[in-house]
A and B are shown apart, each in its own frame.
Chain A
């Protein structure tokens, strides 16, 4: 079966949701009969999924890099080191890693779109929702399929904009609109760093690389086809370090890694479907994807950058997990979990195993979307996100509870669910680097401890929500199972959560990981006895976490925490998110106030001063002039005489002097 004929049509994959965006955007409420455009979005994203999955299968069968430069965006004439000029192109690229992402984005995108038909049914402004979600899919697919960094960045920004709009979907809620702004601004910090990184890469490779640094088709950042100078080359390592750190900043912003993680929990203000698609499966994974792309296609990272990536990833993993332990909002717990899991991916990339990170991304997308959709089902039926008001839902929502349980098991890393394989690979790959890099130890330990925390917090959620006899808050609406449009996506995702990890054992699927050129160091290390021991320990830890959760929260138990207990203060610290957000606020306030004061001072004393100074000088001039205009004849006579004298002085003394000065007669 040769599916490579489809590679030329890959541009249709992002264009189909774009078409949905246009149709829904233009027709709007006139699509009321089609679930306000929902069915159109489902249909077109389904078509995109079919095409995308077929292309991914084609890539599996014949792993290679297919670029299709369809359009020259602009051309810069020959100058400096660019003997042939530089063409900036817009094109598509299919290679193993983008095929992998293609599966994730189109499948999760389609399923979430389908789920939305049920979940969003009662909401207002649905055309806006479906249009923006379709636009998001387009942008995300654009990120995945871009064949150069510039195009990548454009779609990256578009993704951010869609995220902003969708977080603020319930814009009447002040918290939602402020969360949207927060998400936009925090990721913007990362975006600016990313852009700087692009510039630096651009200049480094443009100035010093072979062939003027440019690939044959004129643009550097085409996947796989650019020739790169080795990292060790003199003179570039500093710049490349800076560029790598900038790239890490961009990824940290998008993937909510410490210290740019504050926006993701707040982004839960958006609809749960948005959280599932954008803030769990795809957009936040784009940061990791960027790191992977940078690791493979931008010539790798310097050791400093690698350590920074490991540090950020390892620390974030633990840091976010601790906050998930105490949170009472079901969506926020899962959001912290997302940050934590993204930390694993980053950690793997930092350890030098980009494809392991991508593997974790792949499995995580399914089970995390599943968890969100299951949580969405709960929220849909009992209209609360507060875990301590839930309880006993397993009886009422059998399928949802099973779906959530599968997702939780996958997240905890219990074999044979998806999370186990990928997380184990992450831990093993970091472990394999510990000999060469003892400085990775603390982060390895943090990541290891997080396995326990992960199992604990997600099963805490599970037991709080589903175990027990009835809801803790009797005033909640009666729970009921959700309609099939919501169940089917959960079922499919649950299936993926079970088997996605096993995909790696399918040779043609594994080819996606090994088929990337120059990827030898990025594949998971071979398993030895130590790795089996590691797996055993991590599974034991996860099991211990589940047991602890059961012991503490099983059967609908409720606790009263005494305010004096140390647990209470720790809990408060975690609920306050280590005061990081408050610190940001404080820094922002102080910074803004300082800047504002400076600006105020500048405005008041320099600009206003200049204006007023002009005004005052003119006024005093006019005052002086007016004072001269007395109307007294004698005064005018005085001026006349003075003027005449002045004229004579000029004529008789000054003019001859000047003439002598300039050599005139």
Chain B
């Protein structure tokens, strides 16, 4: 087993465990901790896949901004930060559905393109050229959509204030 494979296994294990824990712990703050670890772990995975630019983005956007935003959300909506969630039973149907989805995806695995991942690195400049080159106008359009979503979000927050 090559070091890369070992690293992948470890990272995958951590991702699954932290993702699960993030959803199962009853302390919301702990959720933030675990999801932070999860995001960092995924960033490591990107580095393993020789996508350092994505890894950095993941760290910056996810592990940084998103985690902080979630934490912020908890802080705003809670009087006491450390308060335990009401226990949410692991009901049968959603679990079954999740399991079924997973099994289903596994069953469908052969349908996906198969092969060895040839891991290599891209120069971020190539990435930006690709992003803004042929698909530039579309990217701008997407950015506009996201901007409008953000403005809507701000409006939503402001609305009830008066």
Contact = CB atoms under 8 A, between A and B. Distances in A.
Q: Do chains A and B touch in the complex (CB under 8 A)?
A: yes
Interface of A: 634, 638, 641-642, 645, 648-649, 652
Nearest to A644: B101
Contacts of A645: 97, 100-101, 104
A634 B93 CA distance: 11
A634 to B, nearest CB: 7
B108 A641 contact: no
Interface in B80-104: 93-94, 97, 100-101, 104
A641 B97 contact: yes
6 contacts: A638-B97, A642-B97, A645-B100, A645-B101, A652-B108, A652-B111
B93 to A, nearest CB: 6
Nearest to A648: B104
A656 to B, nearest CB: 12
Contacts of A638: 93-94, 97
Contact of A648 (B93, B94, B97, B108): B108
The 4 closest A-B pairs by CB, nearest first: A641-B97, A645-B100, A642-B97, A638-B94
A645 B108 CA distance: 12
Nearest to B100: A645
Nearest to A642: B97
A464 B111 CA distance: 115
Nearest to B97: A641
A642 B111 CA distance: 21
What DSSP secondary structure best describes chain A's contact surface?
helix
B97 A634 contact: no
Interface residues of B, number: 8
Interface in B108-152: 108, 111
Nearest to B111: A652
Given A641-B101, A645-B101, A634 B108 contact: no
A639 B14 CA distance: 30
Interface of B: 93-94, 97, 100-101, 104, 108, 111
Contacts of B108: 648, 652
A645 B94 CA distance: 13
Contacts of A652: 108, 111
Contacts of B93: 638
Contacts of B97: 638, 641-642, 645
Contacts, number: 16
A41 B97 CA distance: 94
B51 to A, nearest CB: 29
A485 to B, nearest CB: 99
Nearest to B94: A638
Contacts of B94: 634, 638
A645 B98 CA distance: 10
A414 to B, nearest CB: 105
Contacts of A648: 104, 108
B99 to A, nearest CB: 11
A652 B94 CA distance: 22
A652 B108 CA distance: 8
Contacts of B100: 645
A153 B111 CA distance: 84
A652 B104 CA distance: 10
B36 to A, nearest CB: 24
Nearest to B105: A648
A551 to B, nearest CB: 104
Nearest to B88: A634
A102 to B, nearest CB: 93
Contacts of A649: 104
Nearest to A637: B94
Contacts of B101: 641, 645
A202 to B, nearest CB: 73
A651 to B, nearest CB: 10
A634 B89 CA distance: 13
A272 to B, nearest CB: 89
Given A642-B97, A645-B97, 6 more contacts: A634-B94, A638-B94, A641-B97, A645-B100, A648-B104, A652-B111
Contacts of A642: 97
A652 B93 CA distance: 23
A642 B104 CA distance: 12
A398 B111 CA distance: 122
Nearest to B93: A638
A388 B100 CA distance: 101
B4 to A, nearest CB: 32
A505 to B, nearest CB: 108
A42 B94 CA distance: 97
A641 B101 CA distance: 8
Nearest to B108: A652
A642 B100 CA distance: 9
B123 to A, nearest CB: 38
A140 to B, nearest CB: 84
A644 to B, nearest CB: 8
A649 B108 CA distance: 10
A641 B95 CA distance: 12
A652 B105 CA distance: 11
A645 B96 CA distance: 12
A88 to B, nearest CB: 75
Contacts of A634: 94
A649 B94 CA distance: 18
A641 B97 CA distance: 7
A654 to B, nearest CB: 13
A638 B101 CA distance: 12
A634 B97 CA distance: 12
A47 to B, nearest CB: 96
A652 B106 CA distance: 13
A638 B97 CA distance: 8
A260 to B, nearest CB: 74
Contacts of B111: 652
A251 B100 CA distance: 83
Nearest to B107: A652
B89 to A, nearest CB: 12
User: Which residue of B93, B97, B100, B111 has the most chain A CB atoms within 10 A of its CB atom?
Assistant: B97
A642 B101 CA distance: 9
A256 B8 CA distance: 109
A645 B104 CA distance: 8
A96 B97 CA distance: 98
B105 to A, nearest CB: 9
A563 to B, nearest CB: 87
A638 B100 CA distance: 12
B87 to A, nearest CB: 15
A42 B128 CA distance: 121
A638 B108 CA distance: 21
A642 B93 CA distance: 10
A648 B106 CA distance: 13
Nearest to A634: B94
A322 to B, nearest CB: 87
A87 to B, nearest CB: 79
Nearest to A652: B108
A642 B108 CA distance: 17
User: Which residue of B104, B108, B111 has the most chain A CB atoms within 10 A of its CB atom?
Assistant: B104
A440 to B, nearest CB: 90
A628 to B, nearest CB: 12
B66 to A, nearest CB: 20
B95 to A, nearest CB: 11
B44 to A, nearest CB: 29
B127 to A, nearest CB: 32
